[in-house]
Amino acid sequence: MKIALIAHDRKKDSLVEFAIAYKEILSEHELFATGTTGQRISDEVGLKITRFRSGPLGGDQQIGSMIANNDMDMVIFFRDPLTAQPHEPDVTALVRLCDVYHIPLATNMGTAEILLKGLQEGFVDWRLIQERRN
C-alpha cells in the first residue's frame, strides 16, 4: 500500500513518535511525505520515504495529484486545528480529494492507529472496490 505521511509544524513530533511506535507496520509499505516531515521520519525512525516539497510549497498538492491519479492508498495527516495555516486552501483540497476518491484519511493519532491496525489485519476491501470503479 502507498501511504502519505504529513504533519503541520506543531504536530511533527507526534507523527515521528507515531512512526516509531508503528515502524514495523509502516516498513511493509511504500511511504511518501512532505519535505520536513519526511526528512525527520527518515532520520529519526529510519524508514525509507519518498519526499515531496514542503506542504506550503506544493507538497500537499503533489500528494493530491497521486490521489487523483489513483496512486495513493491512505493518508495520515496530523493537522494542527488550533493554528492558522498559510496554505489552508491546499489542505482543504487534499482532504476533499481523499473524500472524492475514497482514500482513508487520519487527521489524529487515534484514527491513524485504527487505520494501521486495520491495514495490518488485511482490511483492504475498500481499496478493491475503488479499483473496480476505475
Q: Per the annotation, does 50 bind a ligand? A: no
Q: Per the annotation, does 37 bind a ligand? A: yes
Strand ranges of the sheet holding 49-51, from the earlier edge strand across to the other edge: 49-51, 30-33, 2-7, 74-78, 105-106
Q: Per the annotation, does 35 bind a ligand? A: yes
The β-bridge partners of 49 are: 31
The x, y and z cell numbers of residue 132, run together, are 473496480
Of residues 9, 13, 43, 60, which has the active-site annotation? 60
The reply to whether 99 belongs to the active site is no
Q: Per the annotation, does 83 bind a ligand? A: no
- The binding site comprises 8, 12, 34-37, 54-55, 87
Active site residues: 60
Residues that constitute the known binding site for substrate: 8, 12, 34-37, 54-55, 87
